[in-house]
Amino acid sequence: MASGGELINNKQVIFKNFVEGFPKESDMEVKTSSISLKVEEGSNAVVVKNLYLSCDPYMRNRMTQSDQETNDPEFIPFTPGSPLEGFGVAKVVDSGHPNYKKGDLIWGMVKWEEYSLIENPQLFKIHHADVPLSHYTGILGMPGITAWAGFYEVCSPKKGEKVYISAASGAVGQLVGQFAKLMGCYVVGSAGSKEKVDLLKNKFGFDDAFNYKEEHDLDAALKRCFPEGIDIYFENVGGKMLDAVLLNMRLRGRIAACGMISQYNLHQPEGVYNLMNIVGKRIRMEGLMAFDYFPQYAKFLDVVLPFVREKKVVYVEDIAEGIESAPAALVGLFSGRNVGKQVVAVAKE
């Protein structure tokens, strides 16, 4: 959509082509394009200035070519030659849409660039700016809703239950663990470095934690941490970890399947062999996606915003500075380089 205003420079992170295996920085490139900061007369679009971009594991799905039709924003492939898309926090610069006005802070789906023209905007307005705005890419945004819905809605948790979380220091895992502690559960997490394990134990208050890379036998590690078994597993990684967990689930255990990051970059996913446990132990395993819970955002915020303000829940972010750092930040997710929620800071207000 062309528009009448003056054009200014707009740095963008361009998706070069579809990816197989692990994504590399060279699958993206930072280019300067131009954009008008005015929306066209009569349009219902908005133009926003992007402040924070969110790096999330689901974005790997969108880097794969697919001929499957989908309405799920998480699965619509990126367009080679165009900027990546993802969640972000932004400020409205101009608006033709009755719900948004200049100066509004929003979060939602934006493009990976300094300024985005968004047609048919479906963006959440940020009404509480007394907390760090970057939190709207994390604890108060999509990962927060995922953790909240996955734990409270899907897992049906009860006080005293034994909860295991993989990728536990990530954007979602750190929250699930803290929600579970607030409920009075016994909570163990795994992560991929000593630094992350220390965070789990010392900052997030997990009862125990282990570095999965240092365990040659995941089944034994889980038996050590859960001698009586696991009631709730918050699944972020899939593959071998899921297989070991199935052996250690208790009767009527619940598995919230939020993601399987260990599998996203494999040409052929790993086989899972222990599914018979689902029958014998009457396990319920259920997939979830944050999008399904967006209509409940206000309800979610009522619960979680006080947690943030009262410091009942802490949130660790790994903030990369500048849009030029975005490709490396995204790639780093898949090697576990980030410590905490990975964000890219594009601009100050």
Binding site for a copy of itself (CB under 8 A): 61, 72, 74-75, 238, 242, 257-260, 263, 268-289, 292
- DSSP per position, 312-338: SS---EEEEESGGGHHHHHHHHTTT--
Buried b (16+ CB within 10 A) or exposed e, 180-194: bbebebbbbbbbbbe
Is the Cβ of residue 33 or residue 274 nearer to a copy of itself in the bound state? Answer: 274
Let me know how long the chain is. 349
Task: For the CB of residue 201, give the shortest distance to a copy of itself in the complex, in Å.
Answer: 28
Is the Cβ of residue 165 or residue 289 nearer to a copy of itself in the bound state? Answer: 289
Sign of CA dihedral 98, 102, 105, 110: positive
Task: For the CB of residue 279, give the shortest distance to a copy of itself in the complex, in Å.
Answer: 4
Q: Which two tokens stand for residue 115?
A: 């300024």
Task: For the CB of residue 206, give the shortest distance to a copy of itself in the complex, in Å.
Answer: 24
Give phi and psi for 151, each to the nearest 5: -80, -55
Is the Cβ of residue 52 or residue 300 nearer to a copy of itself in the bound state? Answer: 300
Task: For the CB of residue 76, give the shortest distance to a copy of itself in the complex, in Å.
Answer: 12
Q: Give CA–CA dist 181/151, Å, rounded.
A: 12
Give phi and psi for 26, each to the nearest 5: -75, -5
Q: Which two tokens stand for residue 268?
A: 């052929």
Is the Cβ of residue 165 or residue 329 nearer to a copy of itself in the bound state? Answer: 165
Task: For the CB of residue 73, give the shortest distance to a copy of itself in the complex, in Å.
Answer: 12
Is the Cβ of residue 42 or residue 271 nearer to a copy of itself in the bound state? Answer: 271
